[in-house]
Every structure is written in C-alpha cells, then in structure tokens.
Amino acid sequence: MINVSHPFGQIQSVFILDLLTFYMHSAFVLMNADLGKELQIVNEIKKIPHVKEAYPVYGVYDVLMVIESDSMESLRETITNHVRKLDGIKSTLTMIIVKDQ
C-alpha cells in the first residue's frame, strides 16, 4: 500500500491496485509427480515467470502451484510450455480462478 499526503491518496492507491489485480488471470495448478521428485519440481517451478506460489502437498496430487498473468494466452503458454515440460511431471489439473462474480 502506498501512503501519500493527500487525505484520499491511500484509498485511491488501494482502488488502483485492486483493479490491476482484478484484471489479472490466475489459476491453481495441481500436479502429479514421479515419486521423490516433488521438492525438485517445486524448486524448478518457483523459477518460472508468473508463478506466485508452489508447494509440495499430500493427497491425490503432489504439487500445488498458483500462477498469475496479464493474459489467458500467457497463462496457457506458461503452463503448457514451461510447467508441463518439467522432468518428473506426470499430469496436471488446471483450475482457472473466476474473478468477475
């Protein structure tokens, strides 16, 4: 948050940041990994542009990633050409976050 001397500056800054975030495209990506490759995959995923968070998880899936981009095309390209091609990824499930409701 940006603090400025104008009495409404802080409110205006929050509004602008929320609008920028609203127009970003985001997704959760769940991944199945080869046994023992989970931490290696998480470390590699964190280096990919647009990836906001990545975690090893227990359950049906092995890795959870949060990705954000300014376009759906960029989001798709990152998942298809960078994430899914990592060594040790067996499958992915992508859930696009709906923000307009």
The residue-averaged pLDDT of 69-77 equals: 92
Phi, psi of 94 (to 5 degrees): -105, 130
Residue 17 has pLDDT above 60, yes or no: no
Query: Where do we find the tokens 């975690």?
Result: 55
Helices (H), the chain: 9-22, 38-45, 72-78
pLDDT surpasses 80 at 12: no
CA distance 17 to 92: 31
Each residue's pLDDT tens digit, 22-58 = 568 999 999 999 999 999 999 999 999 999 999 999 9
